[in-house]
C-alpha cells in the first residue's frame, strides 16, 4: 500500500509539475519504491535516515502523511518546510532530507551517526546516496571516519544505473558499488524486492549496532522509470525498450502483488481495493493541497536565524525593504 | 628588553617603527598591546589562552559541546589553542580528525543537526575552502530551507588572514566571503577579551557561527578585566567596541588591524594632528552599523581598515551602508578603505609587508582624509 501511495504521489507530482504548479526541480522515484518501504519497515523511530534529492518517498515514509509533502511541492504555507524548501528540502525529526548537493549528505549522515553514538543511543543512521554520488571524494572521507570511529552508520548506495544522463559504466571505473567501501564490508541487494530490502536493512542494523558496532555498506540495485528529474524525458541516454522491460519484468509493486496472491495473504479484489484507496487518498490530498494558501509574507524573514537570536535587521531588495527584527 | 628595542619604542621615527614591525610583527603588536586601551584589569592573558579558557569553560558547562579538527587532541593543537583539552575531557570530546576537511566539516554539521554542539576547527581558514559547501549549503541554509525544523548550533573556528611568510595559499582573509551569507554569524576577535567573549558567545549561539581568529595574535598578551575572567563572560555578537574615543575622524577595523589602527591614532594624537576614534568591529555579521553611524555623526570622517582584499570587502560593505544611511549627510570627506593589496600574498618579507596595511599606511590615509573637503 505504501509503495502504491508513493507511486501515486510521484505521478501526481509529475502532473502538477507539467501544469507548472510545481516549479524548479522535481526528482521522482518511480520504480524505486521498494527501497524506501523495505527500509522503513525494518527501522525504529530512533533510527535516522538521510538522502539526497530523490526524497519524496522517504519523506512520506518517515512522516507518515501526504498533505505536508504535496503542499511543500506546491510551495504552500502548510508545506512540511513552510513552503520555503520545496522538493529537495523536506525534513522530519528522524529524517534529515532532502539535500541538494550531490554527496554532501554522506558526511552529514556520518555526523548524525556520530551524534547517536556520542549520546549513547541504541540507534543507527541510514545514509543514502546514488551511483552518481558514489565517486564523490567526501563519500570516501565519510567512510574513513565512520570506520575509524566505529560509527553506527549504514551507507546505502541506491544504484538506479544512471547518474542523471550518465550510465554507471560511463562514470565509474568500478561499478560494484557495494565493494567501494574497501575496509567497510558490502552487500548487494535486489532493490526491486521489498522483502529483500527489508531483510538487508534489518541485518545491517543489527550489524551496525550490536554485532560489529561499525559501518556497513549496502548497494540497492534498482531502477527509475522516469528521467533524472521531471525536465528530463529520460530517453536520450537509454532506450524505451530498456525501461519497458524493467517495468514489465521487474516492477517492485508487481513483485509484491504476485507474492501476496501466491501466498494467499490477500486476494486480487482486496489488493485492488487497497490500491484504489491509496490512489483516492493521494488524489484527495493533492486537491486539498492545491486549494491551500501560499506562505504569509512574514515567513520570508523567519528562520534565517533561530527565533529569538536574530540579527538586528536584514536587507531586502532595496534599503526601504529592510526588515527589522528588534525595534 | 634590549636597549635598541627600548629606544625603538620611545622614538617615534616612522622608519624605525616600520622596521621593527616588519622584522618582528609579533613583537611589534606585543609592544603595542602594552599601551592599548583595553579594559583595565590585573591579569594578563594571551589570545591563545583566552581561546583555550573559552573552550574549556564551555565544554565543562555543556556535555554536548565537543571539539574536532586536525591535531587538536594529542598534538595539543597546531597553534596550541586546544592545549590540555584532550587530557581534561578525553577522546570522546576532543577528536583528532584525518586531513579531510570536506568530510569532517560535514560530519560536524550533521552531528549539530542531530543535537550536538560541535566546535569545528580548521587549521587555517584557507583549508576550509575544501569544506565551504558544508558551511554554506548545509550549515547556513538548512534552518531556513526546513522552515525552522532543523537547527545547526555549530561553531567553526580557526586562524584567518595574514600570518608571516606563509605565502599566498595560507594568507587569505575570508571575512567578506562568510560575512555575505545569511544564516551565518561571523565574528573576528582582536584581543584576548574579544577572543574569549566571542568564542563563548559563538558556542552558546544556536546558529552556525564563524570565528575568524588570527595566528599572529595568538601569542600576544592583553590585560583581562575581572568580568572577562568569569566563566559566564560573553560578548554580544553584533556589537562593536569603541577602543578609543576621538573627535576628528573614525577608524573602523577588525582583528589584527585594530592594533595598527590604535597605534596610528596614538601617533597622530602625539604629533598633534588629530583625535581619532577607533572602533573594533568584533563582529562582521551582523555588522554594528549603528555604532559606526553614531561615530561618523560625531567625527564626520571615516576610514576603514582590514587585512582582506579590497574588492567586495568588509570596507566596501561599510562604505555602502554608510552611503545609504543618514551618516552620509554628516560626511565631510569620502569614506576611504585601507585594505590588503589586491595581489596573492608574496613570500619575500619586503613584498609581504607591502601586501598588508600597517600603522604608517593608516596614519597616512587618515591625514589625507583630514585634508579633504567635500567638493574639493
Contact A85 B145 (CB under 8 A): yes
Q: Which residue of B has its CA nearest to A109?
A: B110
Does residue B111 belong to the interface with chain A, where contact is any CB pair within 8 Å?
A: yes
**Residue of A108, A161, A94, A100 lying closest to A134 (CA atoms):** A161
Which of B279, B66, B303 has its CA nearest to residue B188?
B279
Interchain contact, A148 vs B98, CB within 8 Å: yes
Q: pLDDT digit of tens for each residue in chain A (327 aa)?
A: 788 888 888 888 888 888 888 888 899 898 999 999 999 999 999 999 999 999 999 999 998 789 999 999 999 999 999 999 999 999 999 999 889 999 999 999 999 999 999 999 999 999 999 999 999 999 999 999 999 999 999 999 999 999 999 999 999 999 999 999 999 999 999 999 999 999 999 999 999 998 778 999 999 999 999 989 888 988 889 999 999 999 999 999 999 999 999 998 889 999 899 999 999 999 999 999 999 999 999 999 999 999 999 999 999 999 999 999 976
Chain A: give the shortest CA distance to residue B237, in Å: 9
At B29 the pLDDT is: 52
Question: Which pLDDT score, from 0 to 100, does residue B41 have?
Answer: 54
Q: Answer yes or no: is A281 within a domain.
A: no
- Given a contact cutoff of 8 angstroms between Cβ atoms, the answer to whether B312 and B346 are in contact is no
Chain centroid offset of residue B319 CA: 19
**Would you call B103 and A144 a contact, using CB atoms and an 8 Å cutoff?**
yes
Q: How many domains does chain A have?
A: 1
Q: Measured between CB atoms, which of B112, B144, B286 is closest to A84?
A: B144
Q: Strand B276-280 and strand B283-285: pairing?
A: unpaired
Compute the distance between CA of residue B183 and CA of residue B180 in angstroms, rounded to an integer: 10
Q: Is B63 a catalytic site residue? A: no
Q: Are A101 and B137 within 8 A, CB to CB? A: yes
**Cell numbers standing for residue A95:** 529524517
- For A290, phi and psi rounded to 5 degrees? -60, -30
Q: Is B147 on the interface with A (CB under 8 A)?
A: yes
- Give the distance from residue B108's alpha carbon to the nearest chain A alpha carbon, in angstroms: 6
Residue with cell 617615534: B12
Kindly state the DSSP code that residue B232 receives in the 8-state scheme.
T
Neighboring chain B residues of A108 at a CB cutoff of 8 Å: 106-107, 109-110, 113, 134, 138
Q: Which of B44, B56, B71, B170 is catalytic?
A: B170
Contact in structure between B158 and B256 (CB atoms under 8 Å): no
Per residue in A239-256, is it b (16+ CB within 10 Å) or e — as a string? eeeebeebeeebbbbebb
Note whether B182 contacts A: Cβ–Cβ < 8 A: yes
**Cβ partners under 8 Å of residue B246, min gap 6:** B265, B269, B274, B275, B276, B277, B278, B299
| CATH code, A257 | 3.40.50.970
- Residue A207 is given by DSSP the state I
Residue in chain A nearest B114 by alpha carbon? A112
- Report CB contact under 8 Å: B113, A107: no
In angstroms, what CA-CA distances link A293 with A64, A75, A80, B203?
A: 22, 9, 13, 38
Instruction: Give the angle subtended at the CA of A109 by the CAs of A104 and A111, to the nearest 5°.
Output: 105
> Could you give the CA distance from residue B255 to residue B251 in angstroms, rounded to a whole number?
13
The residues facing A188 across adjacent strands are: A219
Cβ-Cβ contacts under 8 Å, B144 against chain A: 84, 303-304
User: Does A314 sit within 8 Å of B182, measured CB to CB?
Assistant: yes
Alpha-carbon distance of B62 to B49, in angstroms, equals: 20
Lookup result for grid cell 515514509: A61
* Alpha-carbon gap: B47 to the closest alpha carbon of chain A (Å): 26
Within a domain: A327: no
Q: Which residues of A touch B151 (CB under 8 A)?
A: 306
* pLDDT average per 10 residues of sequence, chain B (376 residues): 49 46 50 48 90 98 98 97 98 98 98 98 98 98 97 98 96 98 98 98 98 98 96 97 98 98 97 97 98 98 98 98 97 97 97 97 96 67
Q: Cβ–Cβ of A82/B148 closer than 8 Å? A: yes
Q: Answer whether B286 sits within 8 Å of A312, measured CB to CB.
A: yes
Has residue A77 been placed in a domain? no
User: Best of A50, A88, A108, A151 to disrupt the B interface by mutation (most B CBs within 10 Å)?
Assistant: A108
- The label of the residue with cell 550549515 reads B139
Residues of B in contact with A85 (CB under 8 A): 145-147
Give me the pLDDT at residue B9, please.
Answer: 45
Q: Is residue A241 part of a domain?
A: yes
Task: Say if B137 is an interface residue toward chain A (CB within 8 Å).
Answer: yes
Task: Please answer yes or no on whether A303 and B144 come within 8 Å at the CB atom.
Answer: yes
Query: What is the ipTM, given to two decimal places?
Result: 0.95
Q: What is the dihedral sign for C-alpha A216, A219, A220, A226? A: positive
Is B170 a known active-site residue?
A: yes
Q: Is residue A222 part of a domain?
A: yes
**B135 → chain A, closest CA residue:** A104
Give me the pLDDT at residue A172, please. 96
What is the span of the domain harbouring residue A170?
2-63+96-262
| Model pTM score | 0.92
Separation between Cα atoms, residue A254 and residue A271, nearest integer Å: 11
Q: CB pairs under 8 A, 24+ apart, for A247-253?
A: A247/A31, A250/A192, A250/A223, A251/A31, A251/A192, A252/A3, A252/A31, A252/A32, A252/A33, A252/A34, A252/A191, A252/A192, A252/A193, A252/A194, A253/A3, A253/A4, A253/A7, A253/A33
Interatomic CA distance for residues A224 and A32, integer angstroms: 6
Among all residues of chain B, which has the CA nearest to that of A312?
A: B286
Residue A240 domain flag: yes
Preceding amide of B286 cis, omega within 30: yes
| A305 chain-B contacts, CB cut-off 8 A | 143, 183, 185, 207
What's the pLDDT tens digit per position in A163-180?
Answer: 999 999 999 999 999 999
Whether A314 is covered by a domain: the verdict is no
Q: Do the Cβ atoms of A312 and B207 come within 8 Å? A: no
Q: Cβ separation of B114 and A82 shorter than 8 Å?
A: no
Nearest CA in chain A to B206: A306
Residue A117 falls within a domain, yes or no?
A: yes
Amino acid at each position: 500500500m505504501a509503495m502504491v501511495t508513493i507511486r501515486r504521489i510521484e505521478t501526481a507530482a509529475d502532473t502538477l509539475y507539467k501544469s507548472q504548479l510545481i516549479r524548479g526541480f522535481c526528482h521522482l522515484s518511480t520504480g524505486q519504491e521498494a527501497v524506501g518501504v523495505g527500509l522503513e519497515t525494518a527501522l525504529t523511530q530512533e533510527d535516522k535516515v538521510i538522502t539526497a534529492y530523490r526524497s519524496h518517498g522517504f519523506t512520506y515514509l518517515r512522516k507518515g502523511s501526504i498533505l505536508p509533502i504535496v503542499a511543500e511541492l506546491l510551495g504552500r504555507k502548510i508545506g512540511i518546510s513552510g513552503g520555503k524548501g520545496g522538493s529537495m528540502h523536506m525534513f522530519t525529526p528522524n529524517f534529515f532530507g532532502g539535500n541538494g548537493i550531490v554527496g554532501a549528505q554522506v558526511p552529514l549522515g556520518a555526523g548524525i551517526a556520530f551524534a547517536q553514538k556520542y549520546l549513547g543511543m541504541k540507534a543507527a543512521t541510514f545514509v543514502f546516496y546514488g551511483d552518481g554520488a558514489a565517486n564523490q571524494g567526501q563519500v570516501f572521507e565519510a567512510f574513513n571516519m565512520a570506520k575509524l570511529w566505529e560509527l553506527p552508520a549504514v551507507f546505502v548506495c541506491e544504484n538506479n544505473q544512471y547518474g542523471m544522463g550518465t550510465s554507471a559504466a560511463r562514470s565509474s571505473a568500478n561499478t560494484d558499488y557495494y565493494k567501494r567501501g574497501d575496509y567497510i564490508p558490502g552487500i548487494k541487494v535486489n532493490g526491486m524486492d521489498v522483502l529483500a530490502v527489508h531483510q538487508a536493512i534489518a541485518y545491517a542494523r543489527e550489524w551496525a549496532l550490536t554485532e560489529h558496532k561499525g559501518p556497513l555498506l549496502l548497494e540497492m540495485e534498482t531502477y527509475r522509470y522516469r528521467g533524472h528529474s521531471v525536465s528530463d524525458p529520460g530517453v536520450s541516454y537509454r532506450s524505451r525498450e530498456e525501461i519497458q522491460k524493467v517495468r514489465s519484468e521487474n516492477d517492485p509493486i508487481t513483485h509484491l502483488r504476485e507474492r501476496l496472491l501466491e501466498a494467499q495473504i490477500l486476494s486480487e479484489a482486496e489488493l485492488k481495493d487497497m490500491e484504489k484507496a491509496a490512489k483516492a487518498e493521494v488524489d484527495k490530498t493533492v486537491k486539498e493541497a492545491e486549494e491551500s494558501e501560499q506562505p504569509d509574507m512574514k515567513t520570508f524573514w523567519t528562520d534565517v536565524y533561530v527565533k529569538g537570536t536574530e540579527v538586528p535587521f536584514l536587507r531586502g531588495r532595496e534599503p526601504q525593504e529592510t526588515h527589522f527584527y528588534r525595534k | 628588553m634590549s636597549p635598541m628595542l627600548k629606544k625603538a619604542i620611545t622614538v617615534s621615527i616612522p622608519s624605525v617603527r616600520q622596521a621593527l614591525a616588519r622584522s618582528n610583527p609579533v613583537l611589534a603588536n606585543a609592544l603595542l598591546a602594552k599601551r592599548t586601551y583595553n579594559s583595565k584589569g590585573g591579569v594578563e592573558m594571551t589570545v591563545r589562552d583566552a581561546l583555550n579558557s573559552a573552550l574549556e569553560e564551555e565544554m565543562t558547562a555543556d556535555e554536548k559541546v565537543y571539539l574536532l579538527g586536525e591535531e587538536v587532541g594529542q598534538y595539543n593543537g597546531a597553534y596550541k589553542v586546544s592545549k590540555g583539552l584532550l587530557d581534561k575531557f578525553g577522546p570522546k570530546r576532543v577528536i583528532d580528525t584525518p586531513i579531510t576537511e570536506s568530510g569532517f566539516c560535514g560530519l560536524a554539521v550533521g552531528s549539530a543537526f542531530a543535537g550536538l554542539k560541535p566546535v569545528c576547527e580548521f587549521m587555517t581558514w584557507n583549508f576550509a575552502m575544501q569544506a565551504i559547501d558544508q558551511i554554506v549549503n548545509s550549515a547556513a541554509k538548512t534552518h531556513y530551507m526546513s522552515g525552522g525544523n532543523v537547527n545547526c548550533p555549530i561553531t567553526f573556528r580557526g586562524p584567518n588572514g595574514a600570518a608571516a611568510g606563509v605565502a599566498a595559499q595560507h594568507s587569505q582573509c575570508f571575512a567578506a566571503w562568510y560575512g555575505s551569507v545569511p544564516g551565518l554569524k561571523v565574528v573576528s576577535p582582536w584581543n584576548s577579551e574579544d577572543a574569549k567573549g566571542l568564542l563563548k558567545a559563538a558556542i552558546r549561539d544556536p546558529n552556525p557561527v564563524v570565528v575568524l581568529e588570527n595566528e599572529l595574535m595568538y601569542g600576544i598578551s592583553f590585560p583581562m578585566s575581572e568580568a572577562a575572567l568569569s566563566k559566564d563572560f560573553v560578548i554580544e555578537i553584533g556589537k562593536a567596541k569603541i577602543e578609543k574615543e576621538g573627535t576628528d575622524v573614525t577608524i573602523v577595523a577588525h582583528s589584527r588591524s585594530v592594533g595598527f589602527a590604535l597605534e596610528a591614532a596614538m601617533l597622530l594624537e602625539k604629533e598633534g594632528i588629530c583625535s581619532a576614534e577607533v572602533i573594533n568591529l568584533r563582529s562582521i555579521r551582523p555588522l554594528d552599523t549603528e555604532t559606526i553611524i553614531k561615530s561618523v555623526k560625531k567625527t564626520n570622517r571615516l576610514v576603514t581598515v582590514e587585512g582582506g582584499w579590497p574588492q567586495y570587502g568588509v570596507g566596501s560593505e561599510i562604505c555602502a551602508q554608510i552611503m545609504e544611511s543618514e551618516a552620509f549627510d554628516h560626511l565631510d570627506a569620502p569614506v576611504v578603505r585601507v585594505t590588503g593589496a589586491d595581489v596573492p600574498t608574496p613570500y619575500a618579507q619586503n613584498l609581504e609587508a607591502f601586501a598588508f596595511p600597517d600603522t604608517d599606511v593608516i596614519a597616512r590615509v587618515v591625514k589625507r582624509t583630514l585634508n579633504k573637503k567635500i567638493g574639493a
